[in-house]
Structure 1
Amino acid sequence: MVISQRAEPTLLTDQVYDMIHAAILSGDLPAGSRLKVRDLAEQVGTSVMPVREAIRRLEETGLAERQPHKGAVVKNLTFEELIHVYDVRRLLETEAARLGAEKVTAEDCNRMQAEYDLMRKAIDEGQAVALLDHDEAMLAILYQAAANPVLLQVIRTLWQQCRAYKIVGAQGSLDAAEDDSLWRYQQDLLTAARNNDPAAAAAVNEASLRNASERIKTRLAEQKAI
């Protein structure tokens, strides 16, 4: 029997994917950045094959897309698309908070508290990416308590799709010293979790994501007025 294709170097491809993925989530590769195969291969020290495969995976997860005359680029959501993403996030994360608050343990809450404390430290230091990392880690602990891995995976995918906007939005809020929305909702969510109060947890997430959606709609209106 003749095998016409060579086996993919899966481990190497995974490593390259992780590197590019991390650069996108950190903002080092912002939305709209071209993903040039040869340039990336040179940067990560591999051949072009694992880079091509990594980019294909990024396209499948919605973090990259093909554009005419540019090739693959980091996906840039429009404000209209962001509104849709946040509407879906609100539905899913309100339910995830409700389910998680029913089952979250005292140990889970202590882990949430640790992430919250690190998030507040990142706010004090003006570190937008670290702020988002600890915020998402805190939320993930609560959502994991819901014991629905599919729900958490879908939410994580939505987080990644709007990460570029979240970085910009977080930095804008950090620059506005009087803005307490970066920590107020998380503080209330932690209280609801410690009280095993599903209704309160759901209400906090509903309010938080509605607030985020309204900010996006305001930006959209401003853009259209220009």
Structure 2
Amino acid sequence: MALRKLEPGALVGEQVFDAIHGAIMSGDLPAGHRLRIRDLAAELGTSVMPVREAIRRLEENGLAEAIPYKGAVVKGFTLEELLHVYAVRRLLEVEATRLGAAAVTAPMLDDMRFEYRSMREALAEGRIADYLDHDERLLALLYAASGNPVLVEMIRTLWRRCRSYKIVGAQRAVESGESALLWTYQEKLLEAASAHDPDAAARISDDSVAAATERIRATLVGSFHVS
């Protein structure tokens, strides 16, 4: 694994949660990976109690699940969850895009363009987790322009829950030579937002989430044999 020893003197519980959460978000702890409490505690250099509490929090956030006779594992893939999570994402993100595109400011657009360039660079270098981070920052800037922080936080929560799905979808696009699918929608979204065209931006957002859903669905069926 790729977990680092904790810093002395800081809040151990938060460090443990952040370390395991970060490893899941980056794909270092992939879907189905067993979260062995004693192994994680040894790697992090801590006792088992904060690790146990961190796993409980991960389960509450939908990132881990308890399997009978096996213990906690990083949440696995199911088509049912994919379709449910992405259906809610589609509802929220299309509306956030519509509201954001009507109110986004020039400085926000500059920041979005920076994230877009960084996203393209990460993708070209095969850094999938970094690509996803920049993609989410780009979108979060636009959604924040909606002026509704509750809406943005709900979307962020869904992003965390479906991070493993997003990783496999992006990897599929890269491996199949279709990397352009991972940035063309963002390019169009930037154009629509720059023109302050909420209807066009909303259509692009809807198409983007729908395309991501189908890309990940095909990956799960073809590679993970889920039903």
TM over 0.5: yes
User: Superposition pairs for residues 156-171 of structure 1, below 5 Å?
Assistant: 156-171=156-171
Matched residue, 2:86: 86
Stretches of structure 1 lacking an aligned partner (at least 5 in a row): 1-8
Residues 217/30 of structure 1: CA separation in 2 closer, same or farther (3 Å cut): closer
> Deviation per CA, 1:93-147, whole angstroms, max 9, x where unpaired?
0001111112111000100000000011112112211111111111111111112
- 1:158, 1:225 → 2: CA distance? 21
SS at 1:118's partner residue?
helix
Corresponding residue number in structure 1 for 2:33: 33
Report the count of equivalent residues: 218
Measured in 2, the distance between the counterparts of 1:224 and 1:49 equals 36
Shift of the 217–57 alpha-carbon distance from structure 1 to 2, 3 Å rule, reads: closer
Over residues 35-81 of structure 1, what are the superposed CA-to-partner deviations in whole Å (9 max), with x where a residue is unaligned?
11111111111111111111111111111111101111111130221
Aligned residue for 1:133, secondary structure, equals: helix
Q: Distance in 2 between matches of 1:93 and 1:63?
A: 21
- C-alpha displacement of 1:217: 4.2
- Indicate if the aligned counterparts of 2:172 and 2:219 stay in contact, CA closer than 8 A: no
Q: Is the 8 A contact 1:34 1:74 kept in 2?
A: yes
Give the TM-score, by structure 1 length: 0.90
* Equivalent residue, structure 1, for 2:186: 186
Residue deviations 1:158-215, cap 9 Å, x none?
A: 1112111211111111123344211100001111111121111111100111112223
1:140 is aligned to 140
Conserved in 2, the CA contact under 8 Å of 1:80 and 1:220?
no
**How far is the alpha carbon of 1:83 from its aligned partner?**
1.3
- The one-letter code sitting in structure 1 at the alignment partner of 2:57 is R
Backbone CA RMSD of aligned residues: 2.1
The verdict on how the C-alpha distance between 1:31 and 1:193 changes in structure 2, with shifts beyond 3 A counting, is same
Query: What is the TM-score with the length of structure 2 in the denominator?
Result: 0.89
CA distance in 2, matches of 1:50, 1:103: 43
- Which runs of 5 or more structure 2 residues have no equivalent in the other structure? 1-8
Q: Which amino acid aligns with 1:108?
A: M
